[in-house]
Amino acid sequence: MTASWGARAHVRVPATSANLGPGFDSLGLALTLYDDVTVEITEGGLVIEVDGEGAEVADRGERHLIVRVLRRTFEVLDELSGSGLGQPPGIRMSCVNRIPHSRGLGSSSAAIVAGITAARALHPHGDLLDEAAALSLATEIEGHPDNVAPCLSGGLTIAWSGPAGPRSVRLDLEREVVAFVPAQTLATERARGLLPEAVPHGDAAANAGRAALLVAALTGDLDPEVLLDATEDRLHQGYRAPAMPGSAALVDRLRANGVPAVISGAGPTVLAFTTVSRVDSIDPELGNGWLKRPLNVDPLGACVQPPGP
């Protein structure tokens, strides 16, 4: 009997924060802020509905990022299975987006992971794309693994690329954080363009030590004050500060008050390893003009949700 498409897949994907200070392009954290994407196989055509963030790009059709990822994943699964199934006759996609776009919270990685996860659930040979292959494909599309790794697996991840391709290690972590989300956006390409080709050896050495300390501080039973030292960065935040002076100033003020704070990903969101009550105890007006989001670490990563009633 010929294998057939699944009818519908509802996927939930978390926001992510990459770098976490010194862990440039390697450390990532999944957060309890989610996009929900439902993909249905239809008899023909392409329909896209978007509610929330990114609603303005709902009319991109085949150029929509999730649609492109769905198509690419179906191609890969066809190659792996040799089924010759091709593309589905039609797609209807509905998105409820809560992850802010272009704010350093992994919205593009969430879209990529949503597309891959939905395609795996809908394709009759979706199980041929295992977790390692899903990470490799997501990294190929995104360009680096630091956000897609925690989005796929949840928790705290350490990601790297080697001869065998991108890989990641996942660590369990329970911790409260506060995301300070500004109104303004910052394109990742612009933020990366501010980084120099080379950095002083001392700065690179300092970051290597801080990144190792950060993993220990987040997952071990260390003095909480160690986390402040562990989140110090010399590789990217200072170079990017001219593009987000408000974010840089907020990081400096929080850190001056003993709060471990970093730029989330490429910014301009600020991530603080603390609680809203601690922030308010410093100054009730601290962070005014920003959306203060109390969050936790998401433990699951991308999930296919059970079908509704």
pLDDT tens string 37-48: 999 999 999 999
Judge whether 264 is annotated as a binding position.
Answer: no
CB 141 within 8 A of CB 20: no
Counting beta carbons within 10 angstroms of the beta carbon of residue 7, is it exposed (0 to 12), middle (13 to 18) or buried (19 or more)?
A: exposed
**Region 88-110 average pLDDT:** 96
| Residue type, position 302, single letter | A
In 3D space, the residue among 92, 78, 91, 94 whose CA is nearest the CA of residue 35 turns out to be 94
pLDDT (tens digit, 9 = 90+) per residue, 208-234? 999 999 999 999 988 888 999 999 999
Counting beta carbons within 10 angstroms of the beta carbon of residue 225, is it exposed (0 to 12), middle (13 to 18) or buried (19 or more)?
A: exposed
Q: What separation in angstroms does the CA of 41 have from each of 90, 228, 232?
A: 6, 49, 48
Q: Output the pLDDT for position 223.
A: 84
Picking from 36-40, 49-53, 153-157, 177-181, which range would have the lowest pLDDT averaged per residue?
49-53
CB 226 within 8 A of CB 213: yes
Backbone region of residue 257 per phi and psi (left: phi > 0; alpha: psi in -120 to 50; beta: other values): alpha
pLDDT more than 70, % of the chain: 98
In 3D space, the residue among 166, 77, 184 whose CA is nearest the CA of residue 121 turns out to be 77
Judge whether 281 is annotated as a binding position.
Answer: no
Judge whether 110 is annotated as a binding position.
Answer: yes
CATH numbers and ranges of domains, the chain: 8-172+298-304 (3.30.230.10), 176-296 (3.30.70.890)
Q: Output the pLDDT for position 1.
A: 34
Q: Output the pLDDT for position 308.
A: 57
Is pLDDT of 148 > 90? Answer: yes
Judge whether 81 is annotated as a binding position.
Answer: no
Q: What are phi and psi of 52, to 5 degrees?
A: 95, -145
Judge whether 100 is annotated as a binding position.
Answer: yes
Is pLDDT of 75 > 90? Answer: yes
Judge whether 144 is annotated as a binding position.
Answer: no
pLDDT (tens digit, 9 = 90+) per residue, 220-277? 988 888 999 999 999 999 999 999 999 999 999 999 999 999 999 999 999 999 999 9
Judge whether 104 is annotated as a binding position.
Answer: yes
Q: CB neighbours of 285 closer than 8 A, spacing ≥ 6?
A: none
